[in-house]
Amino acid sequence: MRRISFFLLLSCLLGACSFSGKMVNVRYATFNLRYDNPGDSLNSWRYRKEAVCKFIVENQLEIVGMQEVLCHQLEDLKLALPGYVAIGVGRDDGKQAGEYTPLLYRTDRFEVLDSNTFWLSQYPDSVGFIGWDGACTRIATWAKFREKQSGRIFMAVNTHFDHVGTEARRQGALLIIDRIKEIVGDQPAILTGDFNVNNQSEAYRTLTTNTYPLHDSYCIAEEKAGVEYTFHGFGRVPVAEREKIDFIFVSKDVHVLKTNIPEEGQVESGYLSDHNPVVAELEF
């Protein structure tokens, strides 16, 4: 009986090692959808929403961090994408008012173990509080996921940094890093967002040179495709002045196989948004 028990134990241990060693591949994206502004005329949401949903499906995106999403826009997405669920709240009241920074994910692949939203401010649990020198209320939405097939646990965070406050962006970056360490520690983490600044900014350096550094997926990808910028203002920004202000950052144990920034205006109905999405194939 002792020998049988020993071999049973050994078999279980080997099985556990094999289970924990399975690699997870995820088609990930960050995408500022542009809030529904009637002043955008033919670029307003009602003319773009079908193309956005089609893009998500055709590119087989499995987790998408989105920005500038209003409640009715989120409802449009959920209605058109039945295989997906969204996590997030409005930034103004912690319910439905104001812009969301939601995480859209495929329910057949991922289970949510925990999730929440915090405010990028000195009081991260105070709903609607504007932090530091920021001009607007800013939030970060996160989820602790389990990939169903492998059992692998990882964290997704999605945000939209302030467009004015330098200190608000820097402190927001530090706050997000602290939350990642607190919630998942050394397990894989992915941060998506519209950071409103390029890779020469203090906020970018804070994220990438911290004692817990996050890596720009675009810089470390094995393969790159598409253009090198994200914001184009529905094509109105001159090409030479367009910048990459939307990023997917990953923790040290996430491998980036490929990134793609598809060029704007390549859909039949016109622009998907005033930003290009960033798509990445991740492995961990």
CA distance 162 to 130: 10
Model-level pTM greater than 0.85? yes
How does pLDDT run across 263-276, given as a tens digit for each residue? 986 556 689 999 99
- Site of tokens 């998942």: 184
Report pLDDT digits (tens) over 150-163: 999 999 999 999 99
The neighbour count for residue 66, using CB atoms within 10 Å, is 31
pLDDT of 5 above 90: no
User: Residue 17: pLDDT band by 50, 70, 90 thresholds?
Assistant: very low
What residue type is assigned to position 252 of the chain? K
**CA-to-CA distance for 224 and 101, rounded, in angstroms?**
26
Could you give the domains of the chain? 25-283 (3.60.10.10)
Residue 80 sits at the vertex; the CA angle it makes with 156 and 143, to the nearest 5 degrees, is: 15
Q: What is the pLDDT of residue 81?
A: 98
Q: Which of the four pLDDT bands, split at 50, 70 and 90, describes residue 1?
A: very low
What confidence tens digit (pLDDT) does each residue in 30-58 have?
A: 999 999 999 999 999 999 999 999 999 99
Mean pLDDT for the chain overall: 93
Identify which has the larger pLDDT, 265 or 7.
265
State yes or no: pLDDT of 15 exceeds 60. no
Rounded Cα–Cα distance for residues 107 and 82 (Å): 9
**Which of the four pLDDT bands, split at 50, 70 and 90, describes residue 3?**
very low
CA 62, CA 187: separation in Å to the nearest integer? Answer: 19
What would the pLDDT profile of 76-101 be if each residue is shown by its tens digit? 999 999 999 999 999 999 999 999 99
Sheet holding 84-87, edge to edge: 84-87, 103-106, 63-67, 25-32, 278-283, 255-261, 223-226
User: What pLDDT is attached to residue 266?
Assistant: 59
Q: How confident is the model at residue 110 (pLDDT cuts 50, 70, 90)?
A: very high
Asked whether residue 11 carries a pLDDT value surpassing 50, the answer given is no
Nearest-CA neighbor of 225 among 250, 273, 262, 267?
A: 262
